[in-house]
Structure 1
């Protein structure tokens, strides 16, 4: 009898935990407003985009985007700093309501998360290396050890396409330190982040970004798959549309002295185009939305 009761208790506990987990993974817009707080995952190790300042506060362009959303909703903002390898789990586990963390839109990630359209930024892949290495073409990487960060979508593509020996370390900081220490010949990284790093004398004096950018891919805000088609998805999509139309993303980019993005310029122009007296891209995302608007 005691064993039976224990089994029933265990089953009940499992069901309760499962329900709590599902609820955490499907935080609705109404729940966020009722709670009075928006929890956003942002990078904590990418200069200008999301990083910790001297006081330990997470600052950057993406934390500013998160604050814009929270202010519009009339709720408090809680930022959760994540590393590249932690981003997807942060959403799937319900640790964060939304993720704004330099997340590129790939088919694999579309299966795991709900990626919001339109995209809010874009970047490609380039190389940070010492000037003395004299890299000129991507094919120069064959059989050379290069560092990257765990979870980056381009690790396997660089290995397969160019024959590089990619060492994927846990964080950007570890990868950068490995490059400084000479444990790898180069760092494979987002071109926008490299451009930001090269603004600092510690990198600009001895390092360079020598390659033509490859694998250009747009970035997405992500939420839990259970929220697909829900009010939170619709709200975030509308917010990004407004950002493109009113030039807000370019304003924040300028605030953080990030090199101007052609992607933002193109999207600003596209979302302000009209077909007669109507917006070319419309006011919301639908199956008929032109591809250039996404």
Structure 2
């Protein structure tokens, strides 16, 4: 498809990139050409496209995303004003969100931490800032491994109760100690500052000493150090018939086994017919270390 009248080399490159997305039939290519023709001097590193199956009322079905520098908030402002609007500023994040020729135009940039007043962004979290509350505790999912962050230094039993409730009610799982260790050993306490960066919705924490202005006590529960089992798939002890979700390792073979919870039974049986080779090696290493001492 010809690009029409000659345009600067940068515009040709950006339009060729946009054309590869196959967006010609939805109008993004035409809008991209118009933006480059009418605003050739505004900052732009590239295009991306987006489509929605069920857009919100008043929102366009197809959008064109402008890629400016990660921290080029001035560029966001320039584009917004060129398109007869103003940037949407939320904390350190600046966004362009408008519509041109029935195509949504969107872009975003964030003021760098070095250039942002992080001290002014420190805040005290409330229930609206965290994932959930449990008996007055503020709890947030932290990272991607199922860890939890608690505001304050609650007793270990309260941390464990909230962790159990989270895994049961949110994940549909039961969390158990790994390899015979105590889940309480996965609890760590410290101090940090809650920082509304880049926004209050997308806040971060920064480790701090207790005497740092704005520092608050926090507790981490490193729950990925435990084992989980689906609550919806219980098994039954072949010896006494009691339902069981307990898991353990056989201390001789290292094989993964189910463990009956009945104190008068405590029967163990294999999870499957294949031995857990990783667990076996772990057990062998432990026995070798003990024998060496």
Check whether TM > 0.5. Answer: no
Normalised to the residue count of structure 2, the TM-score between the two structures is: 0.23
Greater strand proportion = 2
Normalised to the residue count of structure 1, the TM-score between the two structures is: 0.23
Highest RCO, 1 vs 2 (Cα 8 Å, sep ≥ 6): 1
Greater helix proportion = 1
Greater CA radius of gyration, 1 or 2?
2
